[in-house]
Each structure stands twice: as structure tokens, then as C-alpha cells.
A and B are shown apart, each in its own frame.
Chain A
Amino acid sequence: MVRHWSWDGAQPWTSTAARLLLAAVLGVAGLLKLPDPAQSVRAVRAYDLLPEGVVQAVGYGLPFLEVALAVLLLIGLATRLAAVGAATLMVVFLMGVGSAAARGLTIDCGCFGGGGLVAPTETRYTSELVRDTALLGLALLLVGWPHSRLALDEHLARTAVPDHRDDHLDDQPELAPEEAR
């Protein structure tokens, strides 16, 4: 039988790719920040947006949030929720970098560790914004189509709900037995 390309056929693997890509970026970003909590706090402070008490908590907690979301996306557990979390993070990052650019700050985003001020010629706001927008796109794709291959979600659903079918199949008109010839 000739199989034609269709979104329904390609979607689960597309979502898998989005999941793994997003997990890789978030995981690396979080892990690189973990070893140096003091620097992580300074990177947050450099944005000059949050009060000092909040700066500390965000500097300490953000890397763990990134790693936790990365793990969920990697194993495909609570994918939609994790994707909502990742999308929210990206929106926050976009606002942070965008506002730094708009205010004429010259800082490194600190996205992958480091952070703080840099020389005016060394800011990379445009590429940072483009990257975060692309990642936001991936996250939104997963919010819309969370079902994917190689995901714990699918496995658990099959175990927990005996006659589980992938939701993406629900959308397809399935042939009733008497209609099938």
C-alpha cells in the first residue's frame, strides 16, 4: 500500500523531535548554571528587573526548573504541562532580553551560564531573541500536539486506560466494522 505523507502520520515523530530538542537546550542551559549559584544570581541581577530578594530565589531556582522541565520533556511525561512551562519560560526570557535591549543595557543573557555585563559590541540580543522565539515555537507545537513517540505518557496511558488509543487517532474518522468492506 502506498503511504502518502500526512500531518497525522508525521505529527507524533515531529512532536518527539520537538520534545528532545527542547529538552536538550533546557537541560544544557540548566546544568551549565548549576555549578556556580553565585554567578547565576549575578546574571539575574544584571537584568536589573527584579528586587534583590527575588533575584536570589530566581538565580538559585531557575536552573533547577530548566532541568526539571528538560527531564519531563526527555522522557515524555506530562508533556503538555512541561511544554506550557517551557513556553512560559521562553516568554519570560524574551521579555527579559527584549527589555535589556530596549533599555540599552549591555549584558550577556546568561542563558547558558556566565552572564552579566559585556562590552557594547559584544551583545547578541538579536540572536538570543531569534533562538528563544524558535524554542517558543517548539514549545507551542508541543502544547498543541503533545502526543509523541518514545514517550512515557503514551506508555502510561496504555497501561492505565485499557482501551486507550492515541488521541491523534481520535481525530481521524475511523471506519466502523460494518462500513469496512
Chain B
Amino acid sequence: MNPTTHPATGSPRNERSRRLSAERAAAAATARRRHRARVGLAAGTAVVLVVGLGVAVQASRDRIDAPTGDPRGVVGGAISLGATGAPVVVTVYEDFLCPACRAADGVLGATYDDLIDQEAIRLEHKPIAILDGYSTDRYSSRALNAAACVVDGAPTAFSPFHDALFAAQPAEGGPGLSDSRLTELAEQAGAPGVGSCIAGERFAGWARSTTDDASRAGVNSTPTILVAGTPLREWSDEALRTAVTAARSNP
């Protein structure tokens, strides 16, 4: 194409106005770039500050309060049922709000009792609280604290209290059992006088640290049922007995 025929380059006047407008456009582009860099820098700094502040806030919210010590009746982070010399240890991680835990316990409860009676297993309960987000009042943690209060007050009351918590398990997403209801259940299970321990969450620190211990041990879901350290994949009377027999013959 012949440039001289282009209308915009036809006269010197046009050329000058072209150049001027090009210069103005270039200046505007520079200003835009600078402006964008300033906005980006400010926004980036704000994000970094928010995240840094957030880490500090969450860390302080997450700090475990002065350790209250383990509840009496808790040994090695577990509430043990059955003969100490039993050949196989079955470890059960449960959250009292977890429907699958309730279901698994419903299926396996009688088998646990039978195997304990036969002195074939020692059952180690390691209740944890990982479902606080699934109730409106941190029920998982409150129920776990209540269980600790019960064990501390009367170790033999743990088993019936544990069963009572599952029998009265609230639905996920709503409020959990109230402190007074938990206290009632504790009394019925045989642990009177634990009302202030429940209401004041005396074992909140323990509940928190036992849950973190489980997390560090690679246990994050409930129920996790370990037969001599091996996860039980299927929750049935037969599967549990088979696993216990296998663990016994192959220690």
C-alpha cells in the first residue's frame, strides 16, 4: 500500500496532531501503569498484613489453656476397659457427635463386651472432638469434656455414660445436649457431682490435646477402630472377631 494515499498521513498538520495524541496516549499509559502498580502494591501489602494478623489471632485462639492434667482413669490418653493382660488391644477413636460412630458402636458394642468378658481384648477408648463445626454449640468438645469429667469422677461410669451419649446423640447441624442434660446423664450413669466440671469445661485442655495427639498419630476420622494397631475396615461382629483372632495368632 502506498503510504501517501493514507488520509491520516496526508498533511503535516495531521502528522503533528497524530504525534501529539500518541505522546498523550503514551503518557496516559505510563500513568495507568504506575497507578496499577500502586494499587497492586497496596492490595498485596493489605493481604499480607491480613494473613499475618490472622495467623496470630488463630494461634492465640487455638492456644491450649493451662493444662489441667489428665482426668483420673485416663492412662496413656485412653480409657481402658477389660483385663490389662489381655492379648489384643482394640483402640477406638470416636466423636460423640459422629453418626457413623454411633452406628459402629451399635453393631460392635455387644462383640466388644463379649471379647472383654473372655479376656480376649482390652478395649481402649480414645474419644476425640473433631466435629465442633457440625453443631451450633461445640457439642463435640463439650461432650468429650463431659466424658472426661465422668471418668475422673467415677471410672466405672464411663461405659454407661458413653452408651447414653450415643443413645441421646443430637443431629448434626443443630445444638447439642445442654450442660444440664449432660450432667443428668452423668448422674444416671453413676457419676454424681460432676455438674461444675461439665459446665466449666474443666478438661477442655485435655480434650484439645488428646484430639491433637490423635491427629498427629494420623487419626482424623471417626470412628477409627484399630485391632492391634491395624485399622478395622469393616464394622461387623464377624470382621472384628476375625481381626482379633488374626492378631492373637500373629502378634
Contacts and interface: CB of A to CB of B under 8 A. Distances in A.
A41 interface: yes
B43 A81 contact: yes
Contacts of B54: 60-61, 63-65
B132 interface: yes
Contacts of B224: 117
B171 interface: no
A56 B216 CA distance: 12
A116 B44 contact: no
- State the main secondary structure of chain B at its contact with A: helix
Interface string B181-217: 0000000000000000000000000001001100110
Nearest to A65: B51
A156 B44 contact: no
B43 A77 contact: yes
Interface string B116-139: 000000000000001011100000
B221 interface: yes
A interface residue count range (under 10 / 10 to 19 / 20 to 34 / 35 or more): 35 or more
Nearest to B64: A38
A120 to B, nearest CB: 8
A164 to B, nearest CB: 6
A124 interface: no
B62 A38 contact: yes
Most chain B CB within a 10 A radius of its CB, from A68, A82, A179? A68
Contacts, number: 121
A64 B28 contact: no
Given A61-B55, A156-B39, A68 B50 contact: yes
A35 B212 contact: no
A116 B24 CA distance: 58
Interface in A39-61: 39-43, 45-46, 48, 52, 56-57, 59-61
A42 B185 CA distance: 30
Interface string A96-119: 000000000001100001111111
A65 B42 CA distance: 15
Interface string B45-63: 0110011111100110110
B133 A35 contact: yes
B39 A38 contact: no
Given A65-B51, A81-B44, A117-B220, A42 B35 contact: no
A37 B61 contact: yes
B28 A161 contact: yes
Contact of B32 (A38, A85, A157): A157
A119 B46 CA distance: 40
Contact of A81 (B8, B40, B211, B233): B40
Interface of A: 32, 34-43, 45-46, 48, 52, 56-57, 59-61, 63-65, 67-69, 72, 77-78, 80-82, 85, 107-108, 113-120, 153, 156-157, 160-161, 163-164, 167, 176, 178-179
